[in-house]
Homo-oligomer: A and B are copies of this chain.
Amino acid sequence: MTHSMNSGIRLSRRALLAWAAIALSACAQLAPVADPLPSWNDGAAKDAIVLFVRKTTEATSPQFVPPAQRIATFDQDGTLWVEQPMYAQVHFALDRVRDVVKAQPALAGEAPFKAVVNGDREAMARFGSEDLLKIVAASQSGLTIEAFHEVVKAWAASAKHPRYQRPYTELVYAPMLEAMQYLRSNGYRTYIVTGGGQEFVRAFAEAVYGVPPEQVVGMMHKVDYAVRDGKPALTFAPPLFFNDDKDGKPVGINMVIGRRPNAAFGNSDGDQQMLEWTTGGAGARLGMLVLHDDAQREYAYGPAAGQPASRVGTFTQALHEAAKAKGWTVISIKNDWKRVFAFD
């Protein structure tokens, strides 16, 4: 009796376990998987991302990509965070002019620094890219890389965007952060490939985007190595060394990654070559362009949004044509994003 009862109990335990396993497996099949892209509205843009990930990561897919080769690249300004009314790094460099002139008083009388020191807004409005590049170079020249990172971090913690009155690091697009995290959770390494400064972005990329320093490709100024006061140091010099924009983006990708990306995200004519290079490879490829068409929640600018050409982040008509011809997906901020920022 004891024995048979015991045996009976054992049987029913085994059966219970078997039933539980069947029930759990059925649940796993039926339960809706948590949406990895909750800030995206349903539509072609969201579908393109999900379909690309499935095609390249499901083991039985003919377009399967081995994990070590999974690379996704993201432009920063206008793709990951707000670039209007001026690039964050230009804001930073302008804020630094006072300190720069304190260290090198002769610059106070020289263009373009003179206009900044005098608060001459008319002259500043006429600044071309040459002037801005001079101001950017001066904002870092003479600093070690480590010291520069500290300066950028302090600025990022205190400076506020003129419209949103929040730090730039809060003006990151929530849907794009989700896309990065979704790609990473599927074995992709996410790189930032920016026309902005490589070290400027490295100063906060890990904290803000979860992107480590070795996955940031950017504009590079000359860096000198020397032993100073017995300590080895890497120090910024003024000359531009590498312009990571337009044609430079595929070149910078090759230099730092040495692999052709499988997916690339951009928003302006500075990203066209990166998308061309990425989607020109074999297998499943993803090219996406953020269209700034939401003046209410963010900005509307550039011809593709039916707006005048913008000096910052131009989505030209030519880029729009290229997108159609190459099958790149345009992300409409207005229609494709449920929310723009985490604080929305």
Task: Write the residues of chain A forming the contact surface with B, with a CB cutoff of 8 angstroms.
Answer: 2-3, 6, 68, 145, 198, 202, 212-214, 216, 220, 223-227, 231-232, 234, 247-248, 250-251, 254-259, 273, 276-277, 280
Contact = CB atoms under 8 A, between A and B. Distances in A.
B251 A223 contact: yes
Contacts of A145: 254
A234 B259 contact: no
A105 to B, nearest CB: 30
A280 B257 CA distance: 27
Counting every copy of the chain, the complex holds 2
A224 B247 contact: yes
Contacts of A224: 247, 251
Contacts of A280: 231-232
Contacts of A213: 257-259
B3 A216 contact: no
Given A68-B212, A255-B220, A256-B256, A250 B277 contact: no
The 3 closest A-B pairs by CB, nearest first: A213-B258, A232-B280, A225-B247
A276 B227 contact: yes
* Chain B CB within 10 Å, residue with most, of A145, A220, A224, A255: A255
26 contacts: A2-B3, A3-B6, A68-B212, A145-B254, A198-B255, A202-B258, A212-B258, A213-B257, A213-B258, A214-B256, A216-B258, A220-B255, A224-B247, A224-B251, A225-B273, A231-B280, A232-B250, A232-B273, A232-B276, A232-B277, A234-B251, A234-B254, A234-B277, A255-B255, A255-B256, A256-B256
B202 A225 contact: no
A280 B232 CA distance: 7
From A145, A220, A258, name the one whose CB has the most chain B CB atoms within 10 angstroms. A258
Nearest to A206: B68
A95 to B, nearest CB: 24
A13 B240 CA distance: 73
Contacts of A251: 223-225, 234
Nearest to A258: B213
B273 A214 contact: no
A254 B214 contact: no
A275 to B, nearest CB: 10
A259 B199 CA distance: 11
B223 A254 contact: yes
B250 A225 contact: yes
A319 to B, nearest CB: 15
Contacts of A273: 225, 232
